[in-house]
């Protein structure tokens, strides 16, 4: 299993 | 001038205990609404967001919005110098390079004052979409802490699945496997011990236990924790922050990116 990063879901506001 | 006084200083100590091992440096954004913080861990797998509402403080003054960047382990070390029953006051002048913390012991004449250096941090603020989740679970926070701790003995990841009125936590590793199944309860007498599950669609997702165990350090802040899940989006683990009277003071929310099958 690979770990996604949070920045692949949430973008800079 | 920024000044915030908290008679129950222990709340601030607990908040720092809940974030200092996950995030090294972060900025507190202080406005007339209150104090908030958003920061990612160094590997950018998780995000923590803290909010403390202005009206939860016993005294709160913020003439203009300020950003207080600091090393959280330094702040935590200083907060360890405050007693659990101490009143804590934070003070920062508008253009200063440090924040002052004043600790006052109850019914005593002792006052201590510490200063922490502020830092200019390039913090990137992430937008978190306000979307409904497929599954919302509320459960005792100590139970969540125990499940995460127990399953980390078995493996690095937990697979959370939810169907009908139960939630299942499962881990497997070289030594074997383990599962914990929780069913919805109806204990109206003790709401803090209850498990409630609201499900729009069944879900199954895997997460790194290392991070969930970091999040569980917020357990002393709240008797209940809320988990929100949807397919292929980060898990939300929320602890609401209340004071001794039970009034709503704010929250700590942790977001954790899922593990995906390669």
Determine whether B10 is exposed, middle or buried from the number of CB atoms within 10 Å of its CB (0-12, 13-18, 19+). buried
Flag if B40 and A7 touch (Cβ within 8 Å): yes
ipTM exceeding the 0.85 mark: yes
- Spatial contact of B195 and B144, defined as CB atoms under 8 Å apart: no
Q: What pLDDT was estimated at residue B246?
A: 81
Residues of A whose CB is below 8 A from B157: 1
Alpha helices, DSSP H, located in chain B: 10-19, 72-79, 141-152, 209-215
B208-229: pLDDT as tens digits:
999 999 999 999 999 999 999 9
Mutant choice from A4, A8, A11 vs B, greatest count of B C-beta within 10 A: A4
Query: Which of A1, A5, A11 has the CB atom closest to B45's CB atom?
Result: A5
Q: Return d(Cα B165, Cα B79) in angstroms, integer.
A: 42
User: Count of A–B CB contacts within 8 Å?
Assistant: 56
Q: What pLDDT was estimated at residue B187?
A: 67
Q: Return d(Cα B163, Cα B184) in angstroms, integer.
A: 11
Q: Return d(Cα B119, Cα B110) in angstroms, integer.
A: 30
Average pLDDT, chain B: 94
């Amino acid at each position: 299993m690979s770990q996604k990063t949070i920045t692949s879901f949430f973008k800079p506001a | 001038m920024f000044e915030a006084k908290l008679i129950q200083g222990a709340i601030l100590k607990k908040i720092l205990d809940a974030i200092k091992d996950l995030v090294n440096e972060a900025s507190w954004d202080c406005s007339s609404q209150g104090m908030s913080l958003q920061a990612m861990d160094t590997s950018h797998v998780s995000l923590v967001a803290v909010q403390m509402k202005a009206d939860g403080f016993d005294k709160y003054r913020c003439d203009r919005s300020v950003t207080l960047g600091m090393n959280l382990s330094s702040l935590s070390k200083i907060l360890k110098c405050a007693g659990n029953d101490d009143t804590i006051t934070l003070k920062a002048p508008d253009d200063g390079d440090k924040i002052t913390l004043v600790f006052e012991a109850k019914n005593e004449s002792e006052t201590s004052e510490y200063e922490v250096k502020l830092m200019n941090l390039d913090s990137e603020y992430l937008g978190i979409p306000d979307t409904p989740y497929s599954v919302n679970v509320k459960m005792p926070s100590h139970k969540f802490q125990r499940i995460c701790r127990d399953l980390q003995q078995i493996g690095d990841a937990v697979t959370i699945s939810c169907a009908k009125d139960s939630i299942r936590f499962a881990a497997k590793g070289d030594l074997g496997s383990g599962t914990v199944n929780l069913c919805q309860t109806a204990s109206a007498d003790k709401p803090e011990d209850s498990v409630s599950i609201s499900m729009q669609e069944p879900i199954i997702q895997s997460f790194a236990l290392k991070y969930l165990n970091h999040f569980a350090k917020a357990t002393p802040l709240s008797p209940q924790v809320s988990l929100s899940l949807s397919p292929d989006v980060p898990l939300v683990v929320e602890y609401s922050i209340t004071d001794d009277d039970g009034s709503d003071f704010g929250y700590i929310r942790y977001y954790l990116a899922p593990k995906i099958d390669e």
